[in-house]
Amino acid sequence: MVVPAIPTRSREWTPVLTGLRADLLDCMQVNLAALADRAYRPGAHLELGASLRFHITAGPAGTPAVTASVEQRLTEAGDLLGLRVTRRWDDVPGTRLRELLAEHSPLYVVADTFTMSWLPYAGNQHMHHSFLLVDADDPCVLVDGYHNSTHWGDARPGTWRMPAAQFDAAVPRATAMAVAAGGAPTLDRPAVLRDNASALRAEADQIEDYLAAVRRRAGEAQAATQLVLDVWLLGRSRALHAAWLANDPTTADAAREAAARADDWLALASQSYVAMRRVHRGGAFPAPVLDQLDGLLRGEVAFADGLADIGRVPPQSAPTTESNRIRGVLADEVRAALGVGPEVPVDDRPLRTLPGFNSFRLVEVIERAEARLRVELDPDDLTGTALHDLDSLGAVFDRARAATQRVSGR
């Protein structure tokens, strides 16, 4: 018999969980997200939505499954959030987990849901799942941000306490990791979007193979069940990507289209569930549901290609002497605004990543450069893309300078 864990509150962790978009994260991502928000700031975890991929593994019945491994999620957390595993212990019992916590707190733990008494899967389903062990005293305290509804009940973000013996029974074997937050990197959004498009184009054949396999086996109960999970995971990941896009004004317009596509995926998840129930009763999997899956999944490549056009700068000829002079003026003004010397590099990086640089400094740079170069920029040219770095801002000044010279006849 599984003894339920006791819900509690934590001054440290409950506010972190409240700020998570847990409904957009899978069971491995969500507790890495909690670590990131605790280390950095509320909402930092949305960077996990930057990556747009199509992960495929072999499912339990030999059917393909859209599932990212623990290793893939850890790699993404490192690349996107600066979270790094510093120590790892495999196949350890609950007693050892409690000992490890004395020197490594909190612990990111991955184990089997079947014995996790705080989840509806307990006693019902075997599945890898993560949680955070944050206190090993008796009672133990654990944190789990997972959000999902099942036919056994709801899983919701929370903090639980349980006697040490009960914890040991709930986690008889696990993998534990100490995770360090080394500082969240600043992502180059246009570059990320181009990488996403390139990756999905490279996965186009894999997408076709997956769709063919699904059509062959959708009438099998286990394959139909896996398909429901696949569509649900795709819907969550696409909704997380939309939230990431919405988190920056330069991609806010694209976020609306991404959110609409995510809604289509989540609607298809509901239709797939109804279809799966029909298969379990001996019926056929409805072809229209598979047709919608084909359309949405094949559309991923075109959608990612469209996003990659954001911030894409057309090829330009080599900079002229005048262009180089303009960029030199801009670099001087950026350094002056920041109060730093010429030894501080300000080229080849987004302006917003420069320490102390903000909207006030940007206005100061533009106004001082306009005065020195004797030009006035068209406000319509000052887009998010144009203000990204010295090269993009320099291109705006190039055009303004050329227009001024044409008017003056010089």
Query: What pLDDT score does 2 carry?
Result: 59
Q: How far apart are the first and last CA of the chain?
A: 88
Rounded CA separation 132/351 (Å): 36
**In the block, residue with structure tokens 């993404």:** 76
**Cβ(147)–Cβ(157) under 8 Å?**
yes
Query: What pLDDT score does 341 carry?
Result: 86
Query: What pLDDT score does 178 carry?
Result: 98
pLDDT at 237 exceeding the cut of 80: yes
Cis amide linkage into residue 139, ω under 30° from 0: yes
Query: What pLDDT score does 384 carry?
Result: 61
Query: What pLDDT score does 1 carry?
Result: 54
Kindly state the DSSP code that residue 334 receives in the 8-state scheme.
Answer: H
Task: Convert the pLDDT of each residue in 325-344 to its tens digit.
Answer: 999 999 999 999 988 888 88
Query: What pLDDT score does 63 carry?
Result: 82
Q: Which is more confident, 145 or 358?
A: 145
- pTM of the predicted structure, to 2 decimals: 0.75
Task: Give the pLDDT band (50/70/90) at residue 314.
Answer: very low
Rounded CA separation 196/305 (Å): 8
DSSP reduced 3-state for 54: coil
Q: Which is more confident, 322 or 31?
A: 31
CA dihedral 255, 259, 261, 265 (to 10 degrees): 150
pLDDT at 315 exceeding the cut of 50: no
Task: Give the pLDDT band (50/70/90) at residue 98.
Answer: very high
Task: Convert the pLDDT of each residue in 200-222 to its tens digit.
Answer: 999 999 999 999 999 999 999 99
Task: Convert the pLDDT of each residue in 24-82 to its tens digit.
Answer: 999 999 999 999 999 999 999 999 999 999 988 887 777 889 988 999 999 999 999 99
pLDDT at 318 exceeding the cut of 70: no
Angle between helix 390-408 and helix 321-338 axes, rounded to 10 deg: 120
